[in-house]
Amino acid sequence: METPFADSPWTVWAVFTPMIGAVAAFLWPRRAALVGCLATLATVGSVFWLIWQVAQLGPQYHAMGGWGAPLGIDLHADGLSAAMLLTTALVGAGVTLYATAYFQQATETARFFWALWLLLWSAMNALFLSGDLFNLYVTLELVGVASVALVALAGNSDALTGAMRYFLLSLLGSLTYLLGVALLYGAHGTLDIGLLSDLVTPAPADWAATGLIVAGLSIKTALVPLHFWLPPAHAAAPAPVSALLSALVVKTSFYLLLRLWLELFPVTAPGFGQVLGLLGALAIFWGSFQALRQARLKLLVAYSTVAQIGYLFLAFPLALTTAAATAWAGTVLFILSHALAKAAMFLAAGNILKFAGHDRIADLGSGSPGVALSWAAFGIAGISIIGLPPSAGFAAKWLLLQASFASGQWWWLIPIIGGSLLAAAYMFKVAGLAFLPNDQGDPGDLGDPKAAGVRLSRRMKWTALGFALGALAMGFATPQILALLDSGTPFAQLGAVGVL
Return d(Cα 347, Cα 328) in angstroms, integer.
Answer: 29
C-alpha distances out from residue 443 to 51, 98, 347, 356, 452, Å? 46, 23, 19, 7, 7
Does some domain include residue 384? yes
Does some domain include residue 74? no
Cβ(129)–Cβ(77) under 8 Å? yes
Question: Helices 458-473 and 392-407 sit at what angle, rounded to 10 degrees?
Answer: 30
* Residue 447 banded pLDDT, cuts 50, 70, 90: very low
* Number of domains comprising the chain: 1
Handedness of CA 166, 169, 172, 177 (dihedral sign): negative
Does some domain include residue 490? yes
Does some domain include residue 324? yes
Does some domain include residue 89? no
Q: pLDDT tens for residues 322-358?
A: 777 888 888 989 999 999 999 999 999 888 888 877 7
Q: Can you give the pTM of this predicted structure?
A: 0.89
Does some domain include residue 153? no
Does some domain include residue 371? yes
Residues 228, 232, 233: CA angle, nearest 5 degrees: 100
* Residue 5 banded pLDDT, cuts 50, 70, 90: low
- 360 is in which domain, residue-wise? 293-500
**Average pLDDT of the segment spanning 380-389:** 91
Return d(Cα 358, Cα 288) in angstroms, integer.
Answer: 23
For strands 60-63 and 74-77, give the pairing. antiparallel
Q: pLDDT tens for residues 159-189?
A: 888 889 889 988 999 999 999 999 998 888 8
Does some domain include residue 362? yes
Q: pLDDT tens for residues 180-223?
A: 999 998 888 888 887 888 888 878 888 888 889 999 999 999 89
CA 280 to chain CA centroid, nearest Å: 16
For 446, other C-beta atoms within 10 Å of its C-beta total: 18
Contacts of 400 (CB under 8 A, 6+ apart): 311, 314, 315, 327, 330, 331, 334, 412, 416
Counting Cα atoms < 13 Å in the Cβ hemisphere of 333 gives: 37
